[in-house]
Amino acid sequence: MSFNEFFKSATASGVILMLVTIIALFWANSSFYESYLSLWHLEFHYTFVGYKLDLTMHQLINDGLMDIFFFLVGLEIKRELIIGELSSVKKAALPIIAAFGGVVVPALIYYGFNFGLPSVKGAAIPMATDIAFALGALALLGNKVPLGIKIFLAALAIADDLAAVLVIAIFYTSAINITALAFCLVIIIFLFIANRLNLQNPLVYVVLGLFLWLAMIPSGIHATIGGIITAMFVPVNSSSKRDLVKISASPLVRIEHSLGGYVAFLIMPLFAFSNAGIRLTNINLDTILNPVSLGIFFGLFIGKPIGISLFVWLSLKFKLASLPENISLQKIFAVSMLCGIGFTMSLFVSNLSFEVGSIEEQFSKISIFAASLLAGVFGYFLMKFNLRNG
């Protein structure tokens, strides 16, 4: 997939996400609210290695379909590490350093508001960036946006996703089930063997990935990590980073192309639709001034642009990286404001941090919406101003 194809796909996905979010909000705040809730509480029953699990529609989307999303994220990360903007130290330095700042500063802000409280476990919520919405906001500015800015934002968001995956793997693991974990290990060994044999049929990795997801659910490790692990074993089909013909025909790229549309236009909209329906009538002063709300809002809206811009400036000062051609620090700050659009990734981490239906979850969703909306508006107008003034 060329960058232009990726950009168009991500921006179109952002539009769809916005539409389904609006529909979910209207539905949740109408007299049909109970029907919205009951839809996501439909139950599905699942048994694996003697363990019976009851999954609601909401859980199936968050833990099942989102595994496919993270599988695609894993493929994108691997591709970027091999032939993309993260494939060399020189290319990767700026977006990785920027992503680090955009992860650490928001988490510290949230931690400061929630220090000593049980809600401190939500510190990862404002770390995330929604690439579809962020690129969608840039798309509204048309062809005036320099390609370097678009590539920087995409690379930064992918590095951000990698950080989110590590956080989920380390901090959102419950009690370990040794039996299920042993099954996971066996499947990973099969994935390793398939990779070493350079098996080219994508179905091999898809089927093994499905079994890994099934084993992950009772294992105590969040099931979506299975998607990332599976992606790391999908072959790129070339020992040379310059052999782009072989890479373009590899299972990794073929699967990525096949899944891209389904993730962008089905899975992510379903996730947004099932998670965005919050009751706005519940908003009051206590909601606004709650430590969870303040931590997430200031983490996304203030922490993201400050963290990214500060770390970019430090990387330039200490000559660790260089700015893309014709890109100023002012434009970097404008695009870093767009990174405060957390939305889907922030909602996902919120679901991991707080019990579904809890007051903390409601606080977090409201502040995610508010911060993402303001970050998008401010980022758009800041970038527009910078483009107009060179």
pLDDT given for residue 367 in this prediction:
93
Q: What is the pTM of this model?
A: 0.83
pLDDT given for residue 168 in this prediction:
82
pLDDT given for residue 157 in this prediction:
84
Structure tokens at 63: 């833990």
- For residues 260 and 72, the answer to whether their CB atoms sit within 8 Å is yes
Instruction: Say how far apart CA 351 and CA 365 lie, in whole Å.
Output: 9
pLDDT given for residue 382 in this prediction:
92
Instruction: Say how far apart CA 164 and CA 342 lie, in whole Å.
Output: 12
Structure tokens at 227: 């998607």
pLDDT given for residue 239 in this prediction:
45
pLDDT given for residue 248 in this prediction:
59
pLDDT given for residue 1 in this prediction:
53
Segment 53-79, tens digit of pLDDT:
677 888 788 878 888 888 988 888 888
Q: Where are the domains of the chain?
A: 3-388
Structure tokens at 241: 């980073």
Task: Using 70 as the pLDDT threshold, list the residues of the chain that sit under it.
Answer: 1-11, 46-53, 237-249, 282, 390
pLDDT given for residue 237 in this prediction:
66
Q: In DSSP terms, which residues pair with 53 in a beta bridge? A: 46
pLDDT given for residue 97 in this prediction:
93
- For residues 146 and 334, the answer to whether their CB atoms sit within 8 Å is no
pLDDT given for residue 241 in this prediction:
47
3-388: which CATH number, 1.20.1530.10, 3.40.50.300, 1.20.1090.10, 1.20.1200.10? Answer: 1.20.1530.10
Backbone dihedral region of 265: left (phi > 0), alpha (psi from -120 to 50 degrees) or beta?
Answer: alpha
CA contacts within 13 A on the Cβ side of 18: 16
pLDDT given for residue 119 in this prediction:
92
CB neighbours (10 Å) of residue 370? 17
Tell me which amino acid residue 202 is: P
Residue matched to tokens 């508001």: 113
